[in-house]
Amino acid sequence: MKIALVTFNFDAERPGGVTNVAIKMLEYISCGLTSEIEIISFSNSSMDPNSIGFLRPQSFRNRLIMRDGDFRGVPITRVGSIGSEFEVLRYRRRKELADFFRGYDLIIVVTGGLQFANVIPRIHVPIIVQCATRLSWERKSQYSSMSRAKRYLLRSQLPLLALQERRVLRSKAIFLVENSRMREWLTSRSRFKPEMWHPGISSFEVGVASHINPNIDGHFISIGRFFEPRKGWDRLFLAYKKAFDTLGDLPDLHVVGAGSFSTAIQMLLDQLTPHYPIRILGKLSDSERDLQIQSASYFLQTSHEEGLGLAALEALSFGVPLICSETDGSREYILEGVSGKSVAQGDQFIVKFGDAIVDSQNWDYSEFHKSAKKLFDSSFTNAISQQRLIDIIGRTMSRTV
């Protein structure tokens, strides 16, 4: 069986949530099926070397389709865009790629919003679309960080983006979703009942520094891409400041991630770090990252929006309890008083999150730790996720026979 794993901006060096899910799927399929896999990565920027930008005449001769090495032996093909200065053109149906995609037995699309799946032309090949959220939901947490001109440009395209979303919904695709909100929304709108599927995480009962157990005196940890405004970094740092001012003595806050903070966030950090034990660790090796998680007391997540949140699941795999903002994703793994605590979004979020940090110092930590690990082992391991994906692929292929 020949499978196309279709995504956008596949970047194994600086993976975001979509790339991480694509890598997980690649691992599961390689281990669980006899198949030939290729990664097809679409461009999401007019500045990519295989894209053509309306405002870049020097790009008019760029090749739109090009091979770009491999990832773990799996070949990567990059597909450029034409005019991706406009979002609707990034997601336009690529009719010219019909012959290209007819060469596969199965297409798996890994995306955030549904519009991206619209790039696949009408072909008689089964399609699975893995998604976590809607573009319109995600945007609510992004508009505040955009310039007025960019907000206007994006909002002016909403009617066409909605049309592209409806086209995807009317297709014969099988949808894999990561949270209950997306499943409920899709249930009455897609041809087939959507399947709940969570990307799994390795279980670390034996591994790096396995003798270290989470403890109440361990540091707090937060993980995410520094340049991503929806992670709510300002809220994290201000909530930690409030908690530290209230209690007077808290474990350090360690922050792990790639990229650079915005100017405003960096200015805030410059004000806080001389007076509060906030350590920005940047990008770490996998083993260093695992050690930071495993030796932490609590995982903190202040995102405005999360479709799931793989870093939180990594913390659960070590039995590290969670304090997270209430998002579609955190509802999947925050059981109040069991795996941690969720904090409602709203005007008083920073105050409430700071209060939760203070309160965490009096929780029954041993019970939280055991319950968090038990929840992970019952629902979010690689073994569970792989078997479910293989079963879904099997049912999808049998439906087309």
CA distance 185 to 165: 13
Tell me which residue range forms the domain holding 354.
Answer: 219-379
Residue 211: its pLDDT value, please? Answer: 43
Q: What is the pLDDT of residue 206?
A: 39
The backbone torsions φ and ψ at residue 220, rounded to the nearest 5 degrees and listed phi first, read -80, 150
Asked, for residue 205, whether it belongs to a domain, the answer is no
Residue 206 covered by a domain? no
Same domain, 349 and 230: yes
Low-confidence ranges of the chain (pLDDT < 50): 205-211
374: CB partners within 8 A, 6+ apart: none
Q: Give a yes or no: residue 11 inside a domain.
A: yes
Both 62 and 141 in a single domain?
yes
Confidence (pLDDT) at 147: 80
Task: Evaluate the CA torsion angle 139, 143, 145, 151 in order and state its sign.
Answer: positive
Spatial strand order in the sheet of 65-71: 65-71, 74-79, 36-42, 2-8, 106-110, 127-131, 174-177, 195-196
57 and 149 belong to one structural domain = yes
- Verify that 186 and 232 share a domain, yes or no: no
Q: How many domains does the chain have?
A: 2
Give CA separation, 202 vs 131, 199, 314, in Å. 21, 10, 8
